Amino acid sequence: MSTPSLPRVQHIIGSGIVAAVGVWVAYVSYTQQPAEAFLFPRLISSVFVVLALWTFAKACLGWTKVGNGISVTQFTNLIPGLIIALIYIFWAAKGLGFYTATTIAFFILLSLYDPAPHGALKSWGKRILITAVFMAVMYALFAKLLNVYTPREVLF
């Protein structure tokens, strides 16, 4: 038996959330009316909840063998990018306008994760150039070629 590479608590939390969703889905499926509309969800949720509880029980007992979880380093690395991405998607894209928000988010993400040194002036110029080219391509593709009308608040 291989040693689990992840602290058991991470698996317990992860599978616990899935199990909670499974129980909620099963509860809603069996209690909501009209019953005919929930015939198929009942069928699925019965299997869903059994498998989810099984997975949760295995996690609690420390029998989980699959899934590497997230290390502290990975977590600290991904958090800034994830926060920026979520702000971009759930607020800025509509609040600032699609193209403005995308330009800002793209440039910040590029600057955050670019392995090139932050002190070098040349690398900043490169990032600005990449952002400009990317936005020009996106504008040409979506606004001109596909005629997609996007929310426009600030600038464009």
Residues within window 53-72 making contact with other proteins, judged by CB under 8 A: 54-55, 58, 64-70
Of 9, 20, 27, 28, which one interacts with other proteins (CB under 8 A)? 28
Is residue 125 a contact residue for other proteins (CB under 8 A)?
no
**Coil, strand, or helix at residue 152?**
strand
Q: Is 123 in the site for other proteins (CB under 8 A)?
A: no
Q: Does 128 bind other proteins (CB under 8 A)?
A: no
CB of 25 to other proteins, least distance (A): 6
Burial class for 92, CB neighbours closer than 10 Å (0-12, 13-18, 19+): buried
| 52, 96, 97, 100: residue in contact with other proteins (rule CB under 8 A) | 52
* Dist. CA 99–CA 150, nearest whole Å: 8
Pair 115, 123: CB distance under 8 Å: no
Number of H-type helices and E-type strands within the chain: 6, 0
Which letter does DSSP use for residue 142 in this model?
I
Q: How far is the CB of 72 from other proteins (least distance, A)?
A: 11
97 φ, ψ to 5°?
105, 145
Contact at 8 Å (CB) between 43 and 26? no
Is the CB of residue 120 less than 8 Å from the CB of residue 99? no
Is 86 one of the binding residues for other proteins (CB under 8 A)? yes
124 contacts other proteins (rule: CB under 8 A): no
- Please say which residue, 65 or 121, places its beta carbon nearer to other proteins: 65
Nearer to other proteins by Cβ, of 66 and 121: the residue is 66
Q: Which of residues 89-118 bind other proteins (CB under 8 A)?
A: 89-90, 93-94, 98, 102, 105-106, 109-110, 112-116
